[in-house]
Amino acid sequence: MAAARTETTRTTLRFFYGWWLVGFAWILYGFGAAPGYYSWSFFSPEIIDDLGLTRGQTGAVFGLFTFMFNSIAPVTGIAISRWGTRRVMVVGNLVTATGCWLLSDAETLWECFVYFGILVGAGIGLSTIVPCQALATSWFTKYRARAVATVLTAGGIVGVLVTWFDRVMVQEHSWRTGWQIIAGLSLVLAVLAAVTVRNRPSDLEQKPDGMLPEVTEHRSADATVTTASSDTWTLSAALRTPQFAVLCLCTVAFAIPWSVTTAHGRLHLEDLGLSTDVAAQILSVMILVSIAGRITGAAGDFLVPEKVLGFALLVEAAGMFGLLLATTATMAYVSTILVAVGFGAAYISTAVVVAKFFGRIAFAQILGAQYLISGIFNALSPAIAGWLFDSTGSYNIAFSTIGMMCVLGGILAFRLRVPQPPRPMNVDAATE
């Protein structure tokens, strides 16, 4: 009787590779994205002095990077469906390594555009955000929000390490040495991805969430009524919904403050009269605090994720207006913390809302299309902010406009409703 009771109550595998994969994905995402993304901002003053560039030009380079990072997402989604997540991540890290190494020897603006803007942007896009979220979506159903949030916290944690690393490079070595080290790191990540990544649970004869096969089959039959409708979505059907348009706007609204602050944050804080060390510390705190926001996004399994998204955008707006009005280090700290918390929560919540609204079958393609659209605007924002500064001598216009965009996105997010599926659900067919 005891043995029978144990067999009926135990519903999960004793060893489930999915949680190990979350750990590996954490490393691959954090160390694959953070060094390239954050280092440009910290190295910008030295790059400006060394190559004779303007803030507008360095902002444009970062804008191209942001565009490539986001716009390659649809290509990543297609590549994942055709060749698998592991191969795509390996190729992406190799491209990143090539771009970083070439950038370390750059002497002109166009080389920065090609090596950092195109190669590093494309490489990080191929190897990090879409593949890591696709892995979490493939390996988890019940615990999807927590898996996604866990992986994406890596960006903030590793970002703090990057700020320390960049300061050491600037003070003790050079920005060129920094990019060479990042290139070597990307090669290590390519090997790690090749060894550890498995595309789906079936590759190891396992089921999502570590469920036992017989239990998973029973649960899936029971869950058909509640989940099959969302899994009928295709990319073309999602594109025709107003919810997709609103989510694109929300993605633009939460990403632009982070992109602009990352690209121009140190420069803006130094313009306020803060020292380089204090400015670097504030940005380090911003990156670290974003982790708290990302953890909040993990509550999408319990809270209404679209409401979390709306609140996050309003918090981020408060941070941008705070940076605009900051006159002391304390005000700058508080404002950057608000930006970080809002960004982190919105970052996770957006992906959770996409999965909730449109299901898991076309998740990578829909998320990729969303990043493509938002990437166009994200690419322009650092350059425009830099050019506005060059023209007016301040970031006032840029920061106030970004803050109003966050307010608009937050209001629309609160009004989001789950869309009707593109076609009626056929319970019998789904069961078969």
CB 90 within 8 A of CB 59: no
Structure tokens given for 347:
């970052």
Residues 426, 432: Cα–Cα separation, whole Å: 10
pLDDT, residue 142, reads: 72
- Which amino acid appears at position 51 of this protein? L
pLDDT, residue 370, reads: 83
Closest C-alpha among 363, 402, 145, 382 to residue 254 = 402
Q: Which residues contact 403 (CB under 8 A, 6 or more apart)?
A: 257, 317, 318, 320, 321, 324
pLDDT, residue 246, reads: 92
Whether the pTM exceeds 0.75: the reply is no
User: What string of DSSP letters covers 19-67?
Assistant: HHHHHHHHHHHHHHHHHHHHHHHHHHHHHHHHHT--HHHHHHHHHHHHH
pLDDT, residue 236, reads: 84
Coil, strand or helix: which one is 261? helix
Backbone angles phi, psi at 12, to 5 degrees: -120, 160
Beta-strand (E) ranges in 49-128? Answer: none
Domain ranges of the chain: 16-420
- Please identify which residue in the block is written with the tokens 């694109």: 248
How many other β-carbons are positioned within 10 Å of the β-carbon of residue 49?
Answer: 10
16-420 CATH? 1.20.1250.20
Residues 285, 333: Cα–Cα separation, whole Å: 8
Per-residue pLDDT tens listing for the chain (432 residues)? 444 444 444 555 567 787 888 888 888 998 888 888 878 877 888 888 888 888 778 878 887 888 888 778 888 878 887 888 889 999 999 999 999 999 988 888 889 999 999 999 999 989 988 888 888 877 777 777 778 778 877 776 787 788 778 777 777 788 888 899 999 999 999 999 999 988 777 677 777 666 666 544 444 333 333 343 456 778 888 888 999 999 999 988 988 888 888 777 777 777 777 777 777 777 777 777 777 767 665 655 567 888 889 999 999 999 999 888 877 778 888 888 899 889 888 888 888 888 788 876 777 778 888 878 777 777 778 778 888 888 888 888 888 999 999 999 999 999 988 888 776 444 333 323
Residues 395, 243: Cα–Cα separation, whole Å: 32
Structure tokens given for 345:
């929560």
10: left (phi over 0), alpha (psi -120 to 50) or beta: beta
pLDDT, residue 162, reads: 80
Residues 411, 298: Cα–Cα separation, whole Å: 21
